[in-house]
Amino acid sequence: MIKLGKTQFEINRVGFGGIPIQRITKEETKKLIQKCKEEGINFIDTARGYTVSEEYIGYSIKEDKDYWIIATKSMSRDYNSMKNDIETSLKNLGRDYIDLYQIHNLKEDEYEKIFSENGAYKALEEAKKEGKIREIGITSHSVSSIEKGLEYDKFSTIQFPYNIVENQGEKALIKAKEKNIGTIIMKPLAGGALDNAKLALKYILSKEFVDVVIPGMDNINQVIENVKVGNEKNVLTESEMNEINKIKNELGSRFCRRCGYCLPCTENINIPMQFLLEGYYSRYNLKEWALDRYNSLGNGASTCTKCGACERKCPYNLPIRDMLKEVAKKLEG
């Protein structure tokens, strides 16, 4: 067990990511979460945007709700919407309080809005004073957004993707650790792109700046294997480092790190989000959810005019135009 940053939460370094339970039943979720408790997991991450996830989790923890450290999050940016989302989350989770409430997928240009008189942060502060939430955090896929968040003394945790092929946030995560801000790692398998889950988790847990990693799980074998990695001494061997370097080389030429340097797109396509949702569609088996979110974005991959501006800005030299074509074929075809 470790303490999550400056919070008082004592948690297992392996937590439970609540995205995949959208594809199993409520009863299967309950059995899964009971197994998590048996194996020592006590941190659960979910979100308002994960359809039935909050409800399934609330149903699964009602007999032992005080055992769990529950984190959820909302895309709301204004006061009233966030206030409503907090109440909905409390109802769904069946609790009087939520341990960690996060502003979900926060972008660099949204801080002024969330801190305004009518902003989401005001609703979170009020809820904290009322005892409805205990801590406030942020999540993002943008390094610049996380870096900006670290400039404020307002957040207890940050949540960011980090894995074998996505290390663009490493400096920000190290800085957060130095400031005693809790570090929560999402996308440990790079959205399903990494096959060797044991090595992927071991790589993350070998980093001292990581507090907790939250792999998505939808079956009991995954729980057992993930906890086993967490209980081991996570020191990488030479052969494991060689395997990691091999994976980086193989995936590096066609894998989006969501750094955002390709933006803005001349056609206002949210390029990183195209690849993120394609991953959920193709590798997470969340086709309907991914399609709903994709269709809500506005300009999709097929609106690309192949101008090449994005590729000239990409630090990883990705063939973005070809990759967008593949996204359009899968998600629009």
Confidence (pLDDT) at 285: 77
Query: For the chain, what percent of residues have pLDDT higher than 70?
Result: 100
User: Are 316 and 266 contacting, i.e. CB atoms less than 8 angstroms apart?
Assistant: no
User: Are 319 and 282 contacting, i.e. CB atoms less than 8 angstroms apart?
Assistant: no
- Mean pLDDT computed over 75-103: 98
The more confident residue out of 174 and 253 is: 174
Confidence (pLDDT) at 225: 95
pLDDT in tens, 199-245: 999 999 999 999 999 999 999 999 999 999 999 888 899 999 999 99
**One domain for residues 63 and 132:** yes
Helix (H) or strand (E) run with residue 291 in it: helix 287-295
Q: What CATH number is given to the structural domain containing 177? A: 3.20.20.100
Determine, yes or no, domain membership for 41. yes
**One domain for residues 181 and 315:** no
Determine, yes or no, domain membership for 249. no
Determine, yes or no, domain membership for 261. no
Phi-psi bin for 201: left (phi > 0), alpha (psi -120 to 50), beta?
alpha
Domain count, the chain: 2
**One domain for residues 9 and 128:** yes
**One domain for residues 119 and 222:** yes
Determine, yes or no, domain membership for 246. no
CB atoms within 10 A of CB 193: 20
**From the centroid of its chain, how far is CA 136?**
15
Averaged pLDDT of the chain: 94
Task: Inform me whether the pLDDT recorded for 104 exceeds 90.
Answer: yes
**One domain for residues 186 and 70:** yes
CB atoms within 10 A of CB 221: 9
Confidence (pLDDT) at 173: 98
Confidence (pLDDT) at 251: 80
Tell me the whole-structure pTM to 2 decimals: 0.86
Which residues span the domain enclosing 143? 2-241
Confidence (pLDDT) at 258: 76
* Stated length of the chain: 333
**One domain for residues 179 and 313:** no
Distance CA 221, CA 31 (A): 12
**One domain for residues 15 and 81:** yes
Confidence (pLDDT) at 217: 93
Determine, yes or no, domain membership for 266. no
pLDDT in tens, 259-315: 777 989 999 999 999 998 998 898 777 899 999 999 998 899 999 999 999 999 887
Determine, yes or no, domain membership for 258. no
Confidence (pLDDT) at 304: 96
**One domain for residues 220 and 280:** no
pLDDT in tens, 142-194: 899 999 999 999 999 999 999 999 898 999 999 999 999 999 999 999 877 88
User: Are 182 and 5 contacting, i.e. CB atoms less than 8 angstroms apart?
Assistant: yes
DSSP track, 21-33: GGGS-HHHHHHHH
Confidence (pLDDT) at 257: 78
